[in-house]
């Protein structure tokens, strides 16, 4: 067991290695470890956030779906109502039109009847006049008789 220069050499070597570690080994490794730790923590936080957001999105999607269903139901209901309205209106319109046509036809018939009666009346008058003139065949003042005939015609 000789103590000699080896002792000093070892100490110097040791200090050199410590210095080397201090400068070139320890800081980059610790930096990488810290960075990775932060990164993992961030990743975990992001994952949790993502999960939370997914849940929210699901919730939102369900809400939207429900709204859409309600809206669709509403629209259908309104459409049905409108359809009924249209049908009713059409019915009413058709009824009114029908009645109008009937009235018009009735009026025309009445008019025709009246005209036919008037015509008939005229013809009866001239027939009566012709008949009367033939019957009398006398020289009677045609003018005084005509008034008499007209009176008679008005009484028909």
Partner 1 sequence: MASEQTSAQYITHHLTNWTFGDMPEHAVGQKLCGDGMPAVQEAGWQFAHCAGEAQAMGFHSIHLDTMFWSISLGLLFIWLFRKAASKATAETPSGLQNFVEWVCEFIDTSVRGSFTAKNDLVAPMALTIFIWVFLMNFMDLIPVDWLPVLAGKIGESFFGVDPHHVYFKVVPSTDPNATFGMSLAVFALMLFYSIKIKGVGGFAGELTLHPFSSKNVIVQYLIFVPVNFVLEFVSLLAKPLSLSLRLYGNMYAGEMIFILIALLYSAGWVMGIFGGFLQLGWAIFHILIITLQAFIFMTLAIVYMDMAYQTGDDH
**Residue of 127, 119, 128 lying closest to 148 (CA atoms):** 128
- For position 21 contacting partner 1 by CB under 8 A, the verdict is yes
Cβ distance to partner 1 smaller for residue 25 or 109: 25
Instruction: Work out whether 13 is an interface residue with partner 1 (CB under 8 A).
Output: yes
Please tell me whether residue 49 binds partner 1 under the rule CB under 8 A.
Answer: no
State the alpha helices, DSSP H only, in 2-25: 5-20
**Local structure of residue 39 (DSSP, 8 states):** H
Contact between 139 and partner 1 by CB under 8 A: the answer reads no
Residue 139's Cα: distance from chain center in Å? 90
**30: contact with partner 1 by CB under 8 A:** yes
Q: Contact between 46 and partner 1 (CB under 8 A)?
A: no
Q: Per 3-state DSSP, what percentage of the chain is helix, strand, and coil (rounded to 5)?
A: 95, 0, 5
> How much is the CA Rg of the chain, to the nearest whole Å?
61
Interacting residues with partner 1 between 107 and 136 (CB under 8 A): none
Size of the residue set binding partner 1 (CB under 8 A): 32
45 forms part of the interface with partner 1 (CB under 8 A): no
Does 33 participate in binding partner 1 (rule CB under 8 A)?
yes
Question: Can residue 35 be called a binding residue for partner 1 (CB under 8 A)?
Answer: yes
CB 128 within 8 A of CB 146: no
The yes or no reply on residue 6 touching partner 1 (CB under 8 A) is yes
CB of 47 to partner 1, least distance (A): 17
């Amino acid at each position: 067991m000789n103590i000699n220069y080896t002792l000093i050499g070892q100490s110097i070597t040791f200090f050199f290695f410590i210095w080397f570690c201090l400068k070139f080994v320890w800081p980059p490794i610790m930096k990488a470890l810290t960075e990775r730790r932060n990164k993992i923590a961030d990743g975990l936080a992001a994952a949790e956030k993502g999960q939370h957001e997914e849940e929210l999105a699901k919730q939102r999607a369900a809400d939207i779906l429900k709204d859409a269903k309600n809206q669709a139901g509403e629209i259908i209901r309104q459409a049905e109502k409108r359809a009924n309205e249209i049908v009713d209106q059409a019915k009413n319109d058709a009824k009114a039109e029908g009645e109008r046509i009937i009235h018009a036809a009735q009026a025309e018939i009445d008019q025709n009847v009246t005209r036919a009666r008037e015509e008939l009346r005229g013809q009866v008058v001239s027939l009566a006049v012709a008949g009367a003139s033939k019957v009398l065949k006398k020289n009677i003042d045609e003018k005084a008789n005509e008034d008499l005939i007209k009176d008679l015609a008005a009484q028909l």
